[in-house]
Each structure stands twice: as structure tokens, then as C-alpha cells.
Copies of this chain bind each other. A is one copy, B any other.
């Protein structure tokens, strides 16, 4: 365990805490008071730290994600949902608020127009509606067409990401697995070792959370550049 702590930079008491909380799989017992830890433990620690430090997720949310990840009956689509629905911020619906209702309808209309398959209780709907309400109150509500430009850009990036998921067809519910099994209950991990399945899923989970930061960082950098070009003429000389 001290080697694991050294290589991950995570203090031993913290590792013990993760073990107790069920976030980390136990090591292989080699004696009554000794256990061996290996590459899977190091990866798991890095995943936990990434979700905690970069993703800003509370331990309770990380536990939910890891339970889904370790549960072979959970399909990849459900795992994606578990991760995404755990991500902050969560905006509460305000059913009594007329502005909120109008914004929620606008979100419904946008998604219907795009033909996107999104669950009615997806928290991202509330996140979008909340931002639209606040923008509307400051006379900055985006026009429908401009919202679609953003949506199309995000659709392209999400498509690239989902396509790049390197999962064998047997893990989760890939189309090739056949549509005869009920969604969300496919025999994940068939023909794939538990360790490989876990590795692949950990990468997918980390990618989902961390790419949001990549996108936000790149957007801010792009904004600074665009602002410099338009509003800082001295820099153009």
C-alpha cells in the first residue's frame, strides 16, 4: 500500500478511506495483515482523484458511479447516464415560475426539433432552462437559430466522443449484441475479462467528466483570442 501511495501521490489514510467506502477494490491478501495492490488499483485511484479534483464530484456521487461501473449488469448507456446525472450543477425546476415554464418549453421544442433522444428527467434540461431564464431576464436570451448553432456544434463533438469509445461489442449493449435483450440489462463483459472491462469503463467515465473541462478551457481561450482581436486593436499592429 505504501508503494501505491507513493506512485499515486494519495496518502495512505485516504486510500484506506476509499477502501472502507467501497470506492476501491480490495487488494489480493498475501497474509493476514498484508495485501498486494497492482495496476488496477493505481488506475482506480487516478479515476477517483480525477472525479474528485477535476470533476468536483462529492464522494457520494463517486460511489454511485463506481457501483455502476463495477456492476456487470449495467449497460454502457446506463453507466453514461449515471455519470452524467451525477455531475454538478443541479438546477431545481421551478414549476410555479412562468419564466421557467417558458424556458422548459423552449428546451422541449429545441430537442424535438433536433430529434434528440433525451429522457424527460435528464438534469441537463434543467441546466439549460435555468441558463435561458437568467439570460432572458437580462435581455440576452439567445434566438432559437443561435441555440441550434450551439446544439449542432455540441452534437458533432459528442458524436466524435461516443464513436471513439473503444469498447468491444460484447461490453455493455452495443448494437451488434442484438436488440433482443432488454435495454439496460445486457450481459456486459461477455468474452471480456473483468479487468479489461473495468479498465475500458474507467477510461470512458473519466473522458466524460474531463472533456467538459477541456471544452470550457478551450472556449475561454477562444474567447480571449476573439476579444483580443476585436477589442484590443493595439495587439494587431
Closest residue of B by beta carbon distance from A130: B54
Q: Which residues of B contact A151 (CB under 8 A)?
A: 218, 221-222
Chain B CB within 8 A of A173 CB = yes
Which residues of B lie under 8 Å from residue A162 when comparing CB positions? 223, 226-227, 229-230
Among A87, A172, A211, A221, chain B packs the most CB atoms within 10 A around the CB of A221
Q: Check if A212 is an interface residue, CB within 8 A of chain B.
A: yes
Are A182 and B80 in contact (CB-based, < 8 A)?
Answer: no
A interface: dominant SS: helix
A175 and B54 contacting across the interface, CB-CB below 8 Å: no
- Chain B residue at minimal CB-CB distance from A223: B158
A155-B221 Cα distance, complex, nearest whole Å: 9
| A59 proximal to B (CB < 8 A) | no
Q: Which of A28-36, A63-71, A112-120, A190-198 contacts B (4 or more CB under 8 A)?
A: A112-120
A85 to chain B, nearest CB (A): 9
A223 contacts B161, C-beta separation under 8 Å: yes
51-78 of chain A: CB within 8 A of chain B:
53-54, 56, 75-77
Contact of A54 among B84, B134, B157 (CB under 8 A): B134
Each complex incorporates copies of this chain amounting to 2
CB of A47 within 8 A of chain B?
yes
Q: Look across to chain B and name the residue whose beta carbon is closest to the beta carbon of A182.
A: B234
In the complex, the answer to whether B140 meets A206 with C-beta atoms within 8 Å is yes
Counting CB contacts under 8 A, is A3 at the interface?
Answer: no
Contacts of A163 in B (CB 8 A): 226, 230
C-alpha spacing A139/B119, complex, angstroms: 31
Tell me whether A138 and B174 are in contact (CB under 8 A): no
Known: A131-B213, A142-B214. 17 other contacts (CB 8 A): A50-B137, A75-B232, A76-B227, A76-B231, A116-B225, A117-B229, A117-B235, A118-B224, A128-B218, A138-B207, A146-B164, A149-B160, A154-B215, A154-B222, A158-B219, A158-B223, A161-B223
A residues engaging B (CB < 8 A)?
A: 43, 46-47, 49-50, 53-54, 56, 75-77, 80-81, 84, 87, 89, 91, 111, 114, 116-119, 122-125, 127-128, 130-132, 134-135, 137-140, 142, 146-147, 149-151, 153-165, 172-175, 177-179, 182-184, 202-203, 206-208, 210-237
